[in-house]
Chain A
């Protein structure tokens, strides 16, 4: 892999005929008939398990660490599996939506490294204070502009929703802005490369719906789509050498717009008794628990 910066071809004309691109040769050395160009949209989300708050109970976003959004890992896994099957390349695209950007860009880079270690070939990230705090309207415009600049994708895959804001809009917005078909909430997905078709099972509240669309297309996947791989140490080390390129909104010719105001974000307080039942034996523990439940008046009369 060429080191980022050393390769001007990263700019715009990324998609050389795939046989010529290093690292795209399929298992066994046989070049597949139709390798796939896949973009995967990855968010560095505030980690809901590591929330830091100020004295007023407000979420301190600056102090809360970023992590790869849970379902975007499924998106990465889906993309890498398709690459392994059909050949091709996977590019990760991400926009930083939490600040301060000077500090958070490091955390974003960590997130991107994780995706690279899972098998993504290179990453393109957007860092611009106008995107912070994130709003799907502007983020989707920026991501779309970057995808168009890179060009030539057969599939764009993302997670069903991010684990911090849970808006679930980016896939649909990007598809609509690009005029592409969109398949949301896919719990399985396969490509018929010959026919240029993607087929998926959408996991809806009341039904499972099997759909197909012509590629290029945008797909969002659910947490059930696969089991994201855990990269090995070697893969993590190798990921350090994979190219990452950074853009600002002006690089992408995207104008910033008035965004909704995030007035506040407060932790929902839970007041619980937090009694841990200590007992010598399981019998005693069960008896104590039953006693407590009786006191609470929640046992059937």
Chain B
């Protein structure tokens, strides 16, 4: 398309290869190489045909430092025009190190990536998600993206050649590792989401939101503090630029102030309702319907009325 474009892809785990292969295909790269940790069978399953070679690191997972070190070796060998990684925490960490060592411009979590003659144009959300920035740079450069955004473009055929490499020693040593609790809720495809924020004073009080969600056939999501500070709900219920993006028909935000970092991930909702006791809360600017009320007084009434209405 634009002459020879050579891409080096890296991941924190083989499943991310799918979306990144999709981006490689969309860019029309002439050559592509991928680096991923993971088990042999998993990697084989994701060794998409767009890759000239997949370098499999013989480890379940890598520290970002190890990933960066391996990437540097491959960077020197293949001299890519573009390095593409996953916009996850370890992916951004590893990318920032490679970018510094190789003097590359880097764009974190691009939502679009285009190549033009000799250059790269990306769009990314900035200012807590309130604004979209367009940036252009020369090549070589590094971008991280959410792999999900390109999964549909992923080629179906696999069978790229796989070479196995050994992980290097780590400067930062892992002492323990503990998976987070999951509840298998799918916020991203839910039709109705009831969002809870710091207006709730105790974990038990979330039962009101759960009841409301149940009546409406929806699921409960939350602002960052509810998940990350208080640990009242699991990570997969976190709505916002650093959590999940939702696109329901109805989003009811309760006791949430409406900061840009939260609201940016709710923009695709069809209808937004806000319940907040502060009439000046920014959430009302983002809402179709607002109720200025104490949630502790209003929710029981709303739940009763809904039960009457829906005959439940």
Contacts and interface: CB of A to CB of B under 8 A. Distances in A.
Interface of A: 46, 48-49, 51, 59, 135-137, 140, 161, 163-177, 181-185, 199, 202-214, 217, 222-224, 257-268, 270, 272-277, 282-283, 285-287, 289-290, 292-293, 296-300
A88 to B, nearest CB: 22
A49 B260 contact: yes
A157 B71 CA distance: 25
Given A276-B292, A286-B305, A289-B273, A136 B176 contact: no
Contacts, number: 253
30 contacts: A49-B128, A137-B106, A166-B108, A167-B108, A181-B171, A181-B172, A182-B65, A185-B89, A202-B89, A204-B89, A208-B177, A209-B174, A209-B177, A211-B175, A213-B171, A260-B105, A262-B135, A263-B121, A268-B129, A268-B264, A268-B267, A272-B272, A272-B286, A274-B284, A289-B291, A297-B249, A298-B249, A298-B270, A299-B309, A300-B310
B118 interface: no
B182 to A, nearest CB: 8
A59 B273 contact: no
A240 to B, nearest CB: 30
B126 A164 contact: yes
A223 B224 contact: yes
Given A268-B267, A274-B290, A290-B305, A207 B131 contact: no
A213 to B, nearest CB: 4
Interface string B276-312: 0001001011111111110001100110111001100
A205 B88 contact: yes
Interface in B82-115: 88-90, 92-101, 103-109
Contacts of A205: 88-89, 235
Contact of B176 (A167, A210, A217, A275): A210
Contacts of A169: 92, 95-96, 99, 106, 108
A222 to B, nearest CB: 7
Interface in B114-171: 121, 125-138, 141, 171
A51 B287 contact: no
Contacts of B126: 164-166, 265
Nearest to B68: A176
Given A272-B287, A289-B273, A296-B271, A267 B130 contact: yes
Interface of B: 63-65, 68, 88-90, 92-101, 103-109, 121, 125-138, 141, 171-180, 192, 215-217, 224, 228-229, 235, 241, 249-250, 259-261, 263-264, 267, 270-273, 279, 282, 284-293, 297-298, 301-302, 304-306, 309-310
A247 to B, nearest CB: 20
A259 B104 CA distance: 10
Contact of B260 (A48, A176, A258): A48
A210 B173 CA distance: 9
A184 B132 CA distance: 26
Interface centre among A172, A181, A266, A287 (most CB of B within 10 A): A172
A49 B97 CA distance: 31
B290 A286 contact: no
A78 to B, nearest CB: 15
B286 A270 contact: yes
Contacts of B250: 293, 296, 298
A208 B175 contact: no
A200 to B, nearest CB: 9
Nearest to A205: B88
Given A59-B127, A260-B135, A168 B228 contact: no
B127 A164 contact: yes
A292 B272 CA distance: 11
A170 B99 CA distance: 11
Contact of B105 (A135, A273, A290, A300): A135
Nearest to B259: A49
B86 to A, nearest CB: 10
Contacts of B130: 48, 51, 267-268
B298 A48 contact: no
A296 B241 contact: no
A95 to B, nearest CB: 15
Contacts of B179: 206-207
Nearest to B127: A48
A287 B125 CA distance: 38
Given A135-B105, A282-B293, A289-B289, A207 B178 contact: yes
Nearest to A165: B126
Given A209-B178, A276-B290, 10 more contacts: A48-B261, A137-B105, A137-B106, A166-B108, A176-B98, A210-B177, A266-B131, A270-B285, A276-B279, A282-B297
A260 B136 contact: yes
Given A166-B109, A199-B175, A265-B131, A300 B216 contact: yes
B105 A207 contact: no
Contacts of B171: 181, 213-214
Interface centre among B108, B216, B224, B297 (most CB of A within 10 A): B108
A297 B136 CA distance: 43
B105 A293 contact: no
A293 B97 contact: no
A69 B267 CA distance: 24
